[in-house]
Amino acid sequence: EIVMTQSPATLSVSPGERVTLSCRAGQSLSSSYLAWYQQKPGQAPRLLIYDASTRATGLPARFSGSGSGTEFTLTISSLQSEDFAVYYCQQYNNWPRTFGQGTKVEVK
């Protein structure tokens, strides 16, 4: 199975800052089948980005995804209060589908 590794585990930031989260796949995702999810406490994950760089319906433009092969990035251009959460990457290039362990974005 493809191991997904996210870094850092925790990111302490202030509102308005630019945030960059990283996700590395254990082998190349040939079709860039990589998604990003946001999860807040007690809630289900929410799809943000799919196909590495396509924003889900209604997602604010401050969220963007990039990358290919084994290296992927989620960027939040100006962090808002509602963006403090845990972010997961997931590959759907191969079976089984696998998720990273998450990056927690917390208030500095």
Partner 1 sequence: VQLVQSGVEVKKPGASVKVSCKASGYTFSNHYMHWVRQAPGQGPEWMGTINPRGGITRHAQKFQGRLTMTRDTSTTTVYMELISLRSEDTAVYFCARDRSGSGLDAFDIWGQGTMVTVSS
Candidates 25, 29, 102, 105: give the one binding partner 1 (CB under 8 A): 102
Whether residue 103 contacts residue 37, with contact meaning beta carbons closer than 8 Å, is answered with no
Residues 39 to 98: which contact partner 1 by CB under 8 A? Answer: 44-47, 50-51, 56, 88, 90, 92, 95-98
The reply on whether position 14 binds partner 1 by CB under 8 A is no
Strand segments, DSSP code E, in the chain are 4-7, 10-13, 19-29, 34-39, 46-50, 54-55, 63-76, 85-91, 98-99, 103-107
- Applying CB under 8 A, the span of 18-26, 33-41, 58-66, 69-77 interacting with partner 1 comes to 33-41
The reply on whether position 100 binds partner 1 by CB under 8 A is yes
User: How many Å apart are CA 74 and CA 46, to the nearest integer?
Assistant: 14
Residues that bind partner 1 (CB under 8 A): 33, 35, 37, 44-47, 50-51, 56, 88, 90, 92, 95-102
